[in-house]
Each structure stands twice: as C-alpha cells, then as structure tokens.
Homo-oligomer: A and B are copies of this chain.
Amino acid sequence: MNAPLNLTTDMANALRALAMDAVQKANSGHPGAPMGMAEMAVALWGRHLRVNPADPGWPDRDRFVLSNGHASMLLYALLHLSGHALSMDDLKAFRQLHSRTPGHPEIGITPGVETTTGPLGQGLANAVGMALAEKLLAQAFNRPGHDIVDHRTYVFMGDGCLMEGISQEAISLAGVWGLNKLIALYDDNGISIDGPVQGWFADDTALRFKACGWNVIGTVDGHDVAALDAAITQARSSSERPTLIICKTRIGQGSPKRANTAKAHGEPLGAEEIAATRAAIGWPHAPFEIPETVRNAWDLRTRGAAQQRDWTARLADYRVAHPALAEELERRLSGRRPIHFEDVVFKAITDVALKGETVASRKASQQVLAALGPALPELIGGSADLTGSNLTDFPGCGAVKGGSFEGRHVHYGVREFGMAAAMNGMALHGGFIPYGGTFLTFSDYSRNAIRMAALMKQQVIHVFTHDSIGLGEDGPTHQPVEHAASLRLIPHLDVWRPGDATETAVAWAHALGQRDRPSALLLSRQNLPAQTRTPEQVAEAHRGAYVLSDRAAARAVLIASGSELGLAMTAQQHLDALGVPVRVVSMPSSSVFDRQDARWQQAVLGDARLPRFGVEAGISRFWRQYGCVDALGVDSFGESGPGPSVYAHFGLTVEALVARVQAWLTAAA
C-alpha cells in the first residue's frame, strides 16, 4: 500500500525541508546528504523497515545504521515523522547543548538511534557486527517453523565511508560470512568535502564489492522511489550474499544553487537558497510545519505495532514448543547473567588462586575462558588472526568463519579495526558479550573503535596480549611502550594489566560485570610467577589496586602492574635483606582504582610522606599522577632481542629498582 506519487514526493520533501530548516536554525550542520538521500529514506523506511516507534528496543526489529552520521538530520526527521518519541521541539533544538538531536547520532540520547556514527566507515562495520549477531542468534535459537530471530540490517553510507580502509575490512568479512540479511545503500553522489571525488576516489565500487562476494544492484536512480523500492525488494531475496544497492544521487538535491556541490555538504543553505529550494521542490509550508497527509503517510506506529504483535504471538508459540530455549533467549536479550553464574566466576577465581601456577597472563586468560565460556553462552570470542598467540579460544568453542555460525570464536582475519567495530555492533545488537584479541601494539589500529565502545557504553572486551617489551624478538614495531598509558586516557574504558593468573581471573570477572563499559585486558606473552594472597586480598583486587605485601614501618611504597608485579615483590625481599622495609601495591587497573572512594585510595597508597616508586614496562611518567617520586619504565621505543635481554637493556630489573629506592632514601636522609 504505497503512497501515491505526489504524496511520495512530499514525503521526501518533508525530509529535505526539515533538514535544511533545522540546519539553518542551528546555523550548523550538514544539509546536503539528508537532501540527497531523501528518496532512499522514503523507499526504505516507508516501505520496508520493520520498526515499532512505540518500542524502539523490540529485539526482532530491523536495524538501521546511518554510517554517514553527519546526515543526522535525515535520521532525526525520520524518527520524528515515523512516530518515535522525538518531538518537533527536539528537531528545533538540533545541535544545541543537551538536546536529543546532537550533531551526530548518538545511541542513548535519541530513541531509535542504533549506534553512534560520525567517524566514517565504522557504521558499516557496526552493521556487519549486527548482521553477524543476528545470524549467530538465529543459529542458536531458531527451530524448524520458529524463525524467532529474523530481521535485517540496513545501512546508508557515503563516499567517505567507502574511502576509509575499515570499509574494506567490513565488506570483506560480510562477504566471507555470507551475511545475506545485510543490505547497504550507497549514497553515490560523487561529491566529498574537497569537491568532485573523481580526483581521489575512482574505485569501481560495484566491482570492488563483487570482488568481496557481495550481491550488487544498480546503479539505481537514487531519486526514484519506485526503483529504490524494487532494488530493496530484490536485495531482501538474496539468500547467500550481502547486498549493495548503488544509488546515484545528487547531494543537496532540490537546492537550485547548492545541489551537486561540495558547499551543500557542511553548511547551512542560507535563507535565500532555502526559499529558492522551497519554490523549486514545491514545498510551500513554513519551517517545521508538516501537513497532516504527509505526517500520516510517514507514521509507522500502526504498521510497527502490528509487526511486533505478530512477533510476540510467534514468540508465544515458540515458548510453548521450546520453553527452555525461549527462556534462555529472553535471558540473553535482557542482558541478565545466567543464574549461579556468579558462583562459577567465584569458583574460577578460587581455582586459579589455589593452583598458584606460574603462567603467562594470556594463558591464564585462556584458562579463565575455559572455565567461564561454557557457562556464559553470550560470550562470543575472536581474534584478528592471532588465535594461537592471543589464546582467545577455549576447548569446545568452535569457529565462526565462512558462513558457519555454530561456533563461539570468530576468525576476523588481520582486521583489528574491523573486528573492534564489528564487536561494537554485536554488543549493540544485544544477546552477546563480544571479546576479541590482537597484540597490544595493534590497539593503535582499532583505537577509535575502542573509543566508540566507551562513548556508547557498550560491554566489549579487548584481549591485548604481548603487552610490553617482554615479547622480545619481534622488536619495536611489536613492542607496546605508550599503549597502556594511552588506553588509560580514554574516558569510560577499564584497562587491566593483571600481575598473575589470579589477577587475570579477577580482571575477567570485573570486565564481565561491567554492563555499560568496555574493558581492555593487557596480557603478557611471558610467564609470570603466582603471588600469594588471602581471600580478602583476592576480593580487594576487584578494586583496581590493593596492598599485596606490607611491612611494618615501611619506608617506601612500590606500585607495580602486570609483569612487573613479580619484580616489585622480589625487590621487596632484597630490600628486606638490606633493612629497608617497603610496601608493595599491586595496581592491575588504575581505571578501576580511580573510581574508588578516597579512603580506599589513601589506605592503599599509604602515607603521602612515604616515597612512592612506580614500576611498569611502559612510559614511566604515567606514575607521577600517583605521587611517585621515581619510576622504572620504558621511555623510548623497544628493541629486538630475547625478552630478558631487552628487560636488562632497559634497566627493568630488581637490582635497578632496589638501587633507585636506596638512592632516594639516602638522598632524602
């Protein structure tokens, strides 16, 4: 039941008008892309997208991702007109402080926004993660006659997204995985900020996507709703491959002077051109006024509610046929942990602590996964082609690759950024806690996606192994130096660098408990000796830092993380022998410690008059913020050589730490 032609035109023009008027009112924003994609939006939202404005969290809704997030006004206009809880006043507050219509779409701020976009290319990769999540969830829960998980992921994206390298990682993965329910509409307007793209973007995009196993439709006239509608219908029938629909559009379509120019991209049209556009497109209505007929044509509330009702009825049937599965599916979608899971976690930590094994923390991590993984089916692992090094797999986890969705460990290939952004998409989809591994140095590649997880408050766990010069021979390109300190700067990200197997188990337990934030676990390649702890100390490790070993009348405090914890503990013994009692503080997570109350912080760090010494195989200045008077660290790039020789080269030794403490105490005496 499609709208008649003139109404269809009006539906598109309503989007155009709202976009140009809101940008004008804000005197800031991007009118060109919304105006260019208006018909694409009419075709998709008007005729295909299954969403219920009254319940934007309906689990089986279609997902819509605006990867070219600067076109935010298109999305806000769609959400408003379709009947989501976003008022015209919200649109009028576009880009104002604390409004529900920020400059780029932000999840958690605006009902119906599925992911925060703006950093180009990542929306597409999020969508790939969402589409993978749908496949995995369908594999786990659908049963013959019960396609209870059955929705599509749609993406709008522009030239910028496709120039970004991450787009290649995303489309390559979507192709090899055969994500046929992923449908991407490419706003092929031939203009980017610097002008007509042919001077810097001459890819044959259709061919490129075909090379990656996609079903390619088009070029379609991006201003012909019927053609777009037909293309989407065709895309929905793709049984094995994701679909790209190439939509030839004009940026700023409708604006007599700005259409098809880079000027349409990122600045208001101006009052005069807006008036000219109104005349040209036949839109006589005042700013922010939408005629009732147009508003009714856009309203998705009735359709969406019926779609959700149908699903709810099917869910009821499913619950009868498969009660245990239904219960588990609802648990997964709600984000609740399994009952007794806390007991499993407690047992895992206790087992590790009792075992007291000298083991690399990456290996300890795998042991924890082996204990927790089977009890937590929403945990979906993976590695950027370093599974045997990151040790992110566990017995029986199975592999997700090439169209097989039964496993629980994803082979992402050498695609750190794509992996991280896809993990964000899986977390956003719901039903999963994704984790994935690479070497810590290559967190550089995925850094902005880690940041986006933090900004979006998504539970994503990064397993970064080979966390220091301790990795040895691979040399400075592979040895992180600034990375731990640098990740700790990202707001709302928990960084853990556990000192032995027990702290590794605590780190995992803590990360699994953080429903609204990502965590990064920094793990050693090399073996770490097990430290002895009381049960109380194991509990205290959850607070990010704690006194691991104290001395009466301590004259100094050593603060260590990760692989240097053992070094500090040995230094304490040497200092004991020299008659210099010192306290050792283990700080596996400064992020978590910084959130503790001041009383705890003071109790751990001790009397401010006692000199503090930091020790960590990374940038030493990090420790100054904890009042350290000196720190052993690595303040230049690493060196290739066997790990112990590299440690010695950088003076990260027990002897050096002992000497520093003695020198300071002597000088202060």
Find A198's partner among B206, B402, B452, B625 (CB 8 Å cutoff). Answer: B402
A9 contacts partner chain B, Cβ-Cβ < 8 Å: no
Scan residues 158-172 of chain A and give those whose CB is less than 8 A from a CB of chain B.
159-160, 163-169, 172
Scan residues 570-586 of chain A and give those whose CB is less than 8 A from a CB of chain B.
none
- A104-B640 in contact given A172-B163, A202-B213, A476-B455 (Cβ < 8 Å): yes
**A367 to chain B: closest CB distance in Å?**
21
**A65 to chain B: closest CB distance in Å?**
14
A118 contacts partner chain B, Cβ-Cβ < 8 Å: yes
**A286 to chain B: closest CB distance in Å?**
24
- A385-B160 in contact given A200-B173, A418-B165, A476-B106 (Cβ < 8 Å): yes
Residues of B within 8 A of A102 (CB): 475-476, 639-640
A524 contacts partner chain B, Cβ-Cβ < 8 Å: no
A613-627 toward B: CB 8 Å interface, digit per residue (1/0)? Answer: 000000101001100
A413 contacts partner chain B, Cβ-Cβ < 8 Å: yes
* Contact assessment for B200 and A473 in the assembled complex, using a CB-CB cutoff below 8 Å: no
Residues of B within 8 A of A464 (CB): none
Q: Give Cα A223–Cα B445 distance, bound, in whole angstroms.
A: 33
A325 contacts partner chain B, Cβ-Cβ < 8 Å: no
A472 contacts partner chain B, Cβ-Cβ < 8 Å: yes
A490 contacts partner chain B, Cβ-Cβ < 8 Å: yes
A301 contacts partner chain B, Cβ-Cβ < 8 Å: no
A601 contacts partner chain B, Cβ-Cβ < 8 Å: no
A372-384 toward B: CB 8 Å interface, digit per residue (1/0)? Answer: 0000000000010
Residues of B within 8 A of A413 (CB): 163, 192, 194, 197, 200-201
- A199-B399 in contact given A97-B646, A163-B415, A642-B97 (Cβ < 8 Å): yes
* Contact assessment for A98 and B478 in the assembled complex, using a CB-CB cutoff below 8 Å: no
Find A411's partner among B99, B200, B387 (CB 8 Å cutoff). Answer: B200
Q: Give Cα A415–Cα B118 distance, bound, in whole angstroms.
A: 14
**A637 to chain B: closest CB distance in Å?**
5
Interface centre among A98, A388, A477 (most CB of B within 10 A): A477
- A385-B200 in contact given A473-B28, A486-B486 (Cβ < 8 Å): yes
A181-210 toward B: CB 8 Å interface, digit per residue (1/0)? Answer: 000000000001110011111111111101
A489 contacts partner chain B, Cβ-Cβ < 8 Å: yes
* Contact assessment for B199 and A401 in the assembled complex, using a CB-CB cutoff below 8 Å: yes
* Contact assessment for B491 and A637 in the assembled complex, using a CB-CB cutoff below 8 Å: yes
Q: Give Cα A441–Cα B412 distance, bound, in whole angstroms.
A: 26
* Contact assessment for A119 and B441 in the assembled complex, using a CB-CB cutoff below 8 Å: yes
* Contact assessment for A172 and B194 in the assembled complex, using a CB-CB cutoff below 8 Å: no
**A366 to chain B: closest CB distance in Å?**
15
Interface centre among A199, A414, A492 (most CB of B within 10 A): A414
* Contact assessment for B482 and A489 in the assembled complex, using a CB-CB cutoff below 8 Å: yes
Find A442's partner among B448, B455, B641 (CB 8 Å cutoff). Answer: B448
Residues of B within 8 A of A411 (CB): 194, 199-200
Residues of B within 8 A of A490 (CB): 482
Residues of B within 8 A of A118 (CB): 474-475, 477-478
A330 contacts partner chain B, Cβ-Cβ < 8 Å: no
A96 contacts partner chain B, Cβ-Cβ < 8 Å: yes
* Contact assessment for B444 and A451 in the assembled complex, using a CB-CB cutoff below 8 Å: yes
Q: Give Cα A335–Cα B461 distance, bound, in whole angstroms.
A: 46
Residues of B within 8 A of A198 (CB): 176, 402
A78 contacts partner chain B, Cβ-Cβ < 8 Å: no
Q: Give Cα A536–Cα B326 distance, bound, in whole angstroms.
A: 76
Residues of B within 8 A of A95 (CB): 473, 475, 640-642
**A440 to chain B: closest CB distance in Å?**
12
Residues of B within 8 A of A625 (CB): 621, 624-625
* Contact assessment for A119 and B477 in the assembled complex, using a CB-CB cutoff below 8 Å: yes
Chain A to chain B contacts (Cβ below 8 Å), 22 pairs? A28-B473, A95-B641, A99-B641, A104-B474, A104-B478, A160-B414, A164-B165, A164-B169, A165-B166, A165-B169, A176-B200, A194-B387, A200-B385, A201-B413, A206-B211, A208-B212, A452-B477, A455-B477, A455-B637, A482-B490, A482-B491, A491-B635
| 8 interchain residue pairs of minimum CB distance | A165-B165, A97-B641, A199-B401, A102-B640, A118-B477, A168-B168, A207-B211, A444-B448
